Structures are given as structure tokens and as C-alpha cells.
Structure 1
């Protein structure tokens, strides 16, 4: 991955586009943040306040350039995830389940992350994923730590809050969610004190359109071959479709996201059985559902799904093994779509359309399967069958 990043200027590796995010965009934001303010009226800045400290963190390594320090810290986060998964896979959960753990999760993370080529090293999604992974893996030992790490991740990129969806009802949920709320409030107060304009990002979110790599974007790409008169433009830091019916597709995506949220709430209300892996399975299913219904599916989103899939595979109680396989397959196709053949995707050629159809089809299948298996696992166990047994 480091070798690929060093040769990022090669056409098949993105022609410098992958490292551009850190070299230009992150570094520009670093300059603004280092003067005590979040970016203002910047359409590209669409991240919660917690992203600020992450983008400032390369200052901790003053002997390196910003790019070198950013990559080094990303590798540290990558290593932290691998170690956490390995420890979770070798430490028995309790005396009742001495064989409940497995190293498959650590193996998936180490083996599958390079399928994204050098993209993970030039985005801060590995750092965000570290918060979610550690939150889930600490849930069995410290509910307060689980909530705190989920809150820290949520203030960087929102989605780690979903790590709390599957916490068992009662005291565990109250402690985890209270810890998350207190941690988030404390950090927001600190950031609002240290920086000006911490909530300006909210003004930029509403203008997002339909990214060409999303499910809705795939539908519009095929529509171009049927005569639809839309076009692809660079907007809000991504390649998006503009033209007739784009707003309708965006509205449908939002409606599907709301429907996914309703389904997850229904599962939580009706679930009657929790296994040691239920919090892991619920987090993966939730992030998959919100990913596939989003107007934006950037390639780095696969880092999140790999991390959560790896957490699921640390437990033999998980129901998500086939889902993890689909996520790995989607990851491999995703790196072909970007950066290798991104020109085909932007031009909406048949090759580009089919690539996105396969990648998004795998993700949609994974989302449906993940929720279906999560739903079934939440039913009361059959008479005579031990709890937690599939």
C-alpha cells in the first residue's frame, strides 16, 4: 500500500488524485484550523467538529511533512485496529464460552484492507474506523468506554454512533448511551471554546447531490444509455450527476434512509435475544443499510465496512459471516472502479456502469442479508435449544 501511494501519479493509480486529498485539501484545512477556526463557507467542509483534531494531528510529528505525518498516523491507527482485533480473537469472553473467539477478524482486516490499494492511507477513515472498532470490542468489559469511543468517532464522522445500536437493553444501554452523551457534550464544549465556527459544516450538507458511485448514481448512469440528458460535474468534493430527475433520485435515497432507520428501530424494539455478537452484527447491518441508501458512496466507505466485518468475525456467535464475504468482494470491485477505471465510471461507459452495478449490487445484497440475519437472530430461541446457538 505504501509503494502504491509513492507511485500515485501513475495513470492507473489515479494520476495523483488519491494523494491530492491529503496534499491539498486536508493541508489547506490544516492551515485554517491551526489559526483557531473551522473552515467557513467552504463547500468541501462537511464534517463534524471532531474532524478538526484529526486533521491537526500530523503536527504531533514535526520532523515530517504534513503528508508523511498523516500517513504515519494512519498506519498507527491501522496497527491499533489489527492489535485490538487480534486480542479480541485470542481472549476468551468468559468462562461459559471459552471457545467463542477467533482470529478471523484480525485476518480479514489485515488481508482485505490492501484490496483498496492505497486509498486507506490517504483518507482519515482508518482513524474513524478505529474509534468504532474499539468501541465495539470494549463493550463487553466497559460500557462507559464503549459509549465514549462511539461518541468520539461520531464527532469525527457520525456513523460510529451506530456502534451503540445493538447494546443490550437495560442498564448496559443506559450506561453506554449516557457515557456517549456526556463525552460528546464535553468535547463539543471544548472544541467550541478552542475554535470558532464549529458548526458551519451543517450549511454545506443540504446541497449534496447524487454521487456517481451511489445506488441512485448507478441508476442514472444506465439512464444515460436510455437517452437521459444528465451530466457529471465535480461538486462538493465528489463527481455528481446534474440534470432532470436528479433531485427526485436524491429524495428517494433520503426516503430509503429513513425507512432503513425505521427498520432498525423496529428490530431493536422486537428483538428478544442477544448473543455476545449481537452488538457487532447490529452495527454492521446498520452501517450497510445507511451506506447503500446514501446519496454518496465514496470508495473509502469500504474501510468502515471492512472494520465492522472484522469485528463480527472475532466472535463465533456472529451471524454475519456471509455478509463479510460479500463486503470483501465489493471492496475488490470498488478498487477497480476507483481509481483504476474511474474514467470509465465518470464517462458512464458500459464498462463503468457494469462495474458500479456489480459493486453496488454486492453492497445491496450484503445489506439485505445482514438485516435479515440480524432479525432472525433476535427471535426468542426455540424450546430446548441453548441461547446463543444458531
Structure 2
């Protein structure tokens, strides 16, 4: 793999073989450190890997028998997630836990290579390996958490879909198929199609996404029982302590609000007076975010090769900050989308990408390092989450503003 940088009016290129070697070395060193942290798994609250070898393994045992988890309040994912959780069982010679981590690392490496190769190959040229560097370093800021969740695999679907859409020879059908598959795993990758150019490209991408998702869903319905059971679990979610609404309630608790933190529906949520109102406000803000994205799509007139990338990042940021749940693994999505933006020199999201790096570091500080403080709602724990969420809100507003000004005529 050779990184190419274009210089001068004549488009002269200078090849720097040291760049991919440096990227490879940093990737290996950071992933080795992440593996070491996961192997010891004692940092902060500890037990980060328990999600895989207890919960995921329990789900795997059910899925292997042909059934999605019935009446399980912690199962809140679309049915495509079942295929990701079944995959480690097909790896010979490894335990489920080892195979899951190995497949996550493989997905991580594939994303890194794709980003590095796409720098300069997207339509309109790129920023070299900047996207690959952001992904490599940004994911490491989350410590060992990405290796013990399946969000790296989900993010890979969105990254590959966007790279297909933004290639010098765009492939809307391939991008649509990948986004459709990702949507059936964790919904949000469908937002990769939000910024597709008007006309044939949009029709091809969305049609292929719908057909791909429908075909896979049909196969899962035929092959498994309780395939759509996850829909019953979504409405019961409350306000997670790490969300924006949770930050407001935590600050209120420091000021005397009588609420408490309880473990419910697979997460630590706030309970007490006015929590329902905060949850409804979050849902209203999510609806407002969706309305803004529709308005942007209608009003936008100027399209650049980076518009699909920038729009995907802005959309996921909006839905993240307005969510009742901002789990730390959500940062994997945002780092991945920001990295894709940096593969295009036309992107307007560079400042947003930089804001996401300290947000990722603070997310790791909040979980797992200081999670005892966070769920105890101490000034330290509340402060760390509040600053992280403040950075995410700033990133979302800046991202939307830069997307609007670059595409909507004044």
C-alpha cells in the first residue's frame, strides 16, 4: 500500500513508502495495547469484556438454536445483528470470546486499509491517509471497549458504503447494498445514503438498500423465530446516565433533585420525578433533527464529492446528541464517519473531526475509568460526561452549519 500526495498545478505525485509503514506500526502497537487492556480487563470499573463472554455468548446459544432472544429487555437490535453474533461460532480453534475479538480486529484492519487506500482515490482527490490515521488513533482513545462490542463491524458497513458512493467512479448500488445490510444490523448505517446526489444515484442507492434489507429480513424471518421481538423492547428505554438528558438530570441531582440511578434494560438509567418529561423532550428533539435533515435535503443545491460523507456525519451526530442513550461505543460510529470525511479534500468536516478526538478520550475516561463516579453522580463523574456531551453538541451544531453553508445557496 503506497500513499500518494498530489502537489503543484501539474498534479505531480510524491510517493512516501514510510507513511504506510508508520501507519501499520501505530496500528499494531495501539491494537496490542487495546488487547492487553482487554486481557487484564481491570481498568476502572472493569468487566468490559463481560458483554461478549456472558451476554453475547448467551444470545449466540439461542441464535444457534434458531431463535432470537424472546422477551429479553436487553435485546434491542435489528435481526441482522444476530448474524454478527453468530459469526464467531464459525471460527475454528478459538473460544467464542477469542473469535469475537479476532473478527473485530479483522474488521478494524479492513476499515484502516480501505481508508488508507481511499485517500486520494475518492472523487476530487483526498487527504492522503488522514482518514486512516484518525480511525487508528481515534479508536485507540476508546481503550479496549471497541474490541468488546460489535460496533466496529457495524461501522465498517457504513464506511464501505460511503467509500463506494464517493469513489471516483461512484457505485450507488454497492453503497446502497452495504448501507441496507448495515441498517439491518444497527439501523443507523442507512444514514450513509442521506447525501447521495439527486437523481439516478439516489434512486439506485435507496432502491438497492431497500431490496437488500428486505431480502435479508425475509430470510431471517423464515430461518429464525422471534425475529421482530426487538421492536417491543425499544419503547421501554429510559434516560441513560451518559445521555444529554442524563447530564441535565445528574446536574439537577447534584443540586438536590431526588432522583436515583438504577440498572434497567441493560443500562444505568435515571429514575425519579420529571424523567419522563426529559425522555419525551429527547424524542421531540430527535424528531426536530429528522425534520432539519429533510429540510436540508430539500433545500440543498450544491453537491460536492464529499457531500454524502459530510451529510452522514452530521446526521449521526444529530441523532446521537438527541438520543436518550449515548453509550460509549457510539463514539466508534462517529470516529469512523469522521475518518471517511477526511478521505476527501472537499470535506467541510475537518474541525468536527478534531472535536471528536477529545470527546472520544473523555468517553473512555467516563467508561470504564471513572464509571463508578458517573453512576454515583459525583461532581467528577458528572463533570467528565458533561464536558464530553458539550463537545458532542458543539460538533453536531458545527457539522450541521458547515453542511448547510456548503450546500444550500444563500
- Which TM-score band applies after superposition, normalised by the shorter structure? over 0.9
Contact 1:88 1:101 in 2 (8 A): no
Contact 1:233 1:241 in 2 (8 A): yes
1:137 CA displacement: 0.1
SS at match of 2:62: helix
Residue 122 (structure 1) aligned with residue 122 (structure 2): no
Question: Cα RMSD between the aligned structures?
Answer: 1.0
Contact 1:285 1:374 in 2 (8 A): yes
Runs of 4+ with deviation above 2 angstroms: 12-15, 90-93, 99-102
Partner of 2:402: 373
TM-score normalised according to structure 2 size = 0.90
Partner of 1:135: 161
1:227 CA displacement: 1.4
Partner of 2:25: none
Q: 1:253 aligns with which of 275, 282, 290?
A: 282
1:15 CA displacement: 2.2
Alignment of 1:1-390 (within 5 A): 1-8=34-41, 10=42, 12-16=43-47, 18-91=48-121, 93=123, 97=124, 99-139=125-165, 140=167, 141-380=170-409
SS at match of 2:335: helix
Task: Specify every segment of 5 or more residues in structure 2 that has no aligned partner in the other structure, as ranges.
Answer: 1-33
- Which deviations, in whole Å up to 9, do the C-alpha atoms of 1:297-325 show, x marking residues without a partner? 00000000000000000111000000001
Contact 1:4 1:13 in 2 (8 A): no
Contact 1:49 1:156 in 2 (8 A): yes
1:101 CA displacement: 4.4
- Which deviations, in whole Å up to 9, do the C-alpha atoms of 1:313-369 show, x marking residues without a partner? 011100000000111110011100110000111111110111111000000000000
1:186 CA displacement: 0.4
SS at match of 1:295: coil
Matched pairs, number: 374
TM-score normalised according to structure 1 size = 0.94
SS at match of 1:74: helix
Task: Specify every segment of 5 or more residues in structure 1 that has no aligned partner in the other structure, as ranges.
Answer: 382-390
Contact 1:102 1:316 in 2 (8 A): no
